Structure 1
């Protein structure tokens, strides 16, 4: 019996697949197209589509443990609910689902409420699962690194409420720890929800200061204009996604993204090392160019 990773070709999923392989686990990586990404030799590719029920039934056969990560798409909820229903049909009782922090608070943000809907399904059906609720990924800022360096401005409108950004590698470490814990257990474990945050809350101004220190010149914060942010995203991507991201940034400015006291210590105990800081992430990003 194996661990099936759904979302295996993305940033988080590929890290999880690699770490599971390094741990000697029997891993299957779900892909829509064979050969799209190079996996470790120990990993088996499974070709399926989350909206194609027959292919998903085959993909979920002989699977003991499931990791589910859905990309932000218009039919994200449908994909997730079909997958979890089919997992239940297949008798899978070891699940790790990647949601998002404050999914129940950012109620007007489509992909947040979508993930909260999936959480409610998991809970209402009493599925044995770990729900991971990560805050904003540090790696999101790699998308604007060139802008930061070319225009000396940090453009993400995250405001001043405080965002405890988390490194994608730490998310993967937590996910792998939970997948292996559930996979190795003699029977299904109790449900668990974990908020995933980094070690420090950041504001737009403090993030700009960290880039300033790494680059050796002043980087300013671009401000809280979410309409301009939406317009920039819409210029090179789908307008529905740009609007979704605008609503998310509005929520971040209002609520922030921070967890309860003691969460950082709990996560560090779980993964066995300190959580990576934003300073570390920025220094690495600058060094890599």
Structure 2
């Protein structure tokens, strides 16, 4: 049988595809432009998106397991509801869904609330699902490396409660493991949730200290100015998304993204190796910058 991947050409989805190809899985990907998808040989493609009902019906034919990843867009919730209804219509019972950690707590943050709604739908529709709940992607900080390097400031307003930043490589490998576990089970397995976190829970000052050590000069934490954060983001994204990100940052400051007891140990056991650390991420960026 076949595993269908949505979001296959994005940062997470592409790595999930590669992990599954390396494990010999039969894959299909829903993509907007197959000619530009640049996926590994042997991966089938269906042209379309998560609002294209006819394309979804074609994509779901003969599929046994679904990896559902949809981007932060205004109609993200609608996309997921359409996909899951059509998946059930096609007889698909096994799903791995990429949600977000604390989706049930950050309910004033639009994309968190939407993902929690999808989690509830998975439960109520009776899917055998793994809900992956990643913390803040450390890879997002590629976007601010020039600010850190050129101005000596870590600009993300993450506060002093701490974030357990996670590496996309760890997210993708756990996703592949769970997809194959469900795909190869004789019967659909019970619903499960997995928090995807990094090995360390870091404050703004701690992150700045790691950059300082890696670059060999002082980097300061830029502080908790979420209004300024929103203003800066408006230069790179729509107003609604910048405000969504501001609301998320405000919850970083008031709540943090702290793992539950046993989260790190569970992931290490699942992967059979240590988790990638933010310290290693920072040193890799610093070394690439120096080269």
TM-score normalised per structure 2: 0.98
CA RMSD across the alignment: 0.8
Q: Counterpart in 1 of 2:35?
A: 35
* 1:102 and 2:102 aligned: yes
> How many Å apart are 1:48 and its aligned residue?
1.4
The whole-number CA distance in structure 2 between the counterparts of 1:273 and 1:173 is 11
The whole-number CA distance in structure 2 between the counterparts of 1:281 and 1:60 is 37
* 1:184 and 2:194 aligned: no
TM-score normalised per structure 1: 0.98
> How many Å apart are 1:288 and its aligned residue?
2.5
The whole-number CA distance in structure 2 between the counterparts of 1:140 and 1:232 is 15
The whole-number CA distance in structure 2 between the counterparts of 1:285 and 1:21 is 28
Give the conservation status (yes or no) of the 8 Å contact 2:46–2:55.
Answer: no
* 1:171 and 2:145 aligned: no
- After superposing on structure 2, the runs of 4+ consecutive aligned residues of structure 1 that deviate more than 6 Å are none
Q: Deviations over 1:159-186 (max 9, x none)?
A: 0001000001001111011001011111
The whole-number CA distance in structure 2 between the counterparts of 1:26 and 1:238 is 37
Q: Counterpart in 2 of 1:14?
A: 14
Of 36-45 and 253-262, more deviation after overlay is shown by: 36-45
The whole-number CA distance in structure 2 between the counterparts of 1:19 and 1:105 is 31
The whole-number CA distance in structure 2 between the counterparts of 1:229 and 1:236 is 11
Q: Counterpart in 2 of 1:132?
A: 132
Matches within 5 A, 1:116-265: 116-265=116-265
The whole-number CA distance in structure 1 between the counterparts of 2:37 and 2:59 is 18
Count the aligned residue pairs. 289
> How many Å apart are 1:37 and its aligned residue?
2.8
Matches within 5 A, 1:41-56: 41-56=41-56
The whole-number CA distance in structure 2 between the counterparts of 1:256 and 1:234 is 24
The unaligned stretches of length 5 or more in structure 1 are none
The whole-number CA distance in structure 2 between the counterparts of 1:185 and 1:78 is 30
